[in-house]
Structure 1
Amino acid sequence: MPPAPPCPCCSGLRYRECCAPFHRGEAEAPDAERLMRSRYAAFAQREAAYLWKTLHPDHPDRARPQEEVLRELRDFARAHQYPKLVVMDRRPPDANGVAQVLFFAKVFEKGKERSFVERSYFRHDGTGWRYHSGDTRMPRDLPVPPEALTLDTFPE
């Protein structure tokens, strides 16, 4: 029997013991970083329904027809490869309940690099952590290598 595959979120754990329980609806991500990792893994695993489920109710895509957003998520996930995720920094929820995660997502489309750095904002919706919004930068537009950034040095 072949070994279980590693989780695409780059946690070092096997997929079945890392993000799979979240994707299958057996558990909620316990914090913003785990949610962010599980969303990256969901793109890699083509889990569009999970990506929809983990959008915060205030996210603009939630105002659009669900089937339209799911189709776009499926198409995007299929068109890209997700070989590596690096989490550089995180902040627990502030007084308004907003947690932050800074990450570098290695992403490729038909062999072309589409990698990006994002400062993501997450809020709990009473059931679980949800992706609220994010500020994205391309590595070429950064003053330092992506992995050298922190939430405090991420460009405004």
Structure 2
Amino acid sequence: MAPARDCPCCSGLQYARCCAPYHRGEREAPTAEALMRSRFSAYARKESAYVFRTLHPEHEDKKRPEAKVLREIRDATSTLKFMRLDVLDRDGPDEAGVWHVLFHARVFEKGKNRSFIELSEFAHDGVGIRYRSGKQMPAAYVTDPAGLTIAAFRAMDP
């Protein structure tokens, strides 16, 4: 029997008990943070269909032909290694039903550091929580990502 593998989302759980049920469509992520973690894991595992499925209907890519978006996701991630995810801050839902998750993704491409910090926005679409949008900045712009909050990220105006 193959050894159990840790989930790429860095939750500390085994993949089979963490993001795999979301990726297989067995259940919806219960929180915005769980959805964000499962999307990072999907990128790491090249699960482009899940990445597309978890886009909010308001996201611009959801309005484009699915096959084209899936191809673009596969192409963009083909040389990337998703090494680590750290959730820095979270809030919501607010009165409009919007959640935010601030995270630091450690990503490398052919030895080059492509790590970034993103403030993601999520909303429910009637079926589940979905990724609506995000603002990113290179992680190198932040001296201490571990201490970053949503308010401080917004003040930086990326």
> Do both share a fold (TM > 0.5)?
yes
| 1:100-115 equivalences in 2 (<5 Å) | 100-115=100-115
**Partners of 1:49 and 1:66 in 2: CA distance:** 9
Matched residue SS, 1:81: strand
**Partners of 2:6 and 2:76 in 1: CA distance:** 22
Matched, 1:14 2:7: no
Q: Which moved more, 1:144-153 or 1:39-48?
A: 144-153
**Partners of 1:116 and 1:42 in 2: CA distance:** 17
**Partners of 1:76 and 1:147 in 2: CA distance:** 27
Q: TM-score, normalised by structure 1?
A: 0.96
- For these two proteins, the number of residue pairs brought into alignment is 155
Q: For residue 67 of structure 2, what is the aligned residue in structure 1? A: 67
Q: For residue 26 of structure 1, what is the aligned residue in structure 2? A: 26
AA aligned opposite 1:106: R
Q: Percent identity?
A: 54
| 1:41-56 equivalences in 2 (<5 Å) | 41-56=41-56
Q: TM-score, normalised by structure 2?
A: 0.95
Q: Which moved more, 1:121-130 or 1:132-141?
A: 132-141
Deviation at residue 18 of structure 1 after TM alignment: 0.1
Q: For residue 86 of structure 1, what is the aligned residue in structure 2? A: 86
**Partners of 1:18 and 1:35 in 2: CA distance:** 11
**Partners of 1:38 and 1:98 in 2: CA distance:** 18
**Partners of 2:63 and 2:129 in 1: CA distance:** 19
AA aligned opposite 1:75: D
Q: For residue 129 of structure 2, what is the aligned residue in structure 1? A: 129
Which segments of 5 or more consecutive residues in structure 2 lack a partner in the other structure?
none
Deviation at residue 140 of structure 1 after TM alignment: 2.2
- After superposition, give the CA deviation of every residue in 1:21-64 in whole Å (9 maximum; x if it has no partner): 00000010001000000000000110000000000000011121
Matched residue SS, 1:152: helix
Matched residue SS, 2:100: strand
**Partners of 1:20 and 1:78 in 2: CA distance:** 20
**Partners of 2:49 and 2:135 in 1: CA distance:** 23
RMSD: 0.9
Contact 1:88 1:102 in 2 (8 A): yes
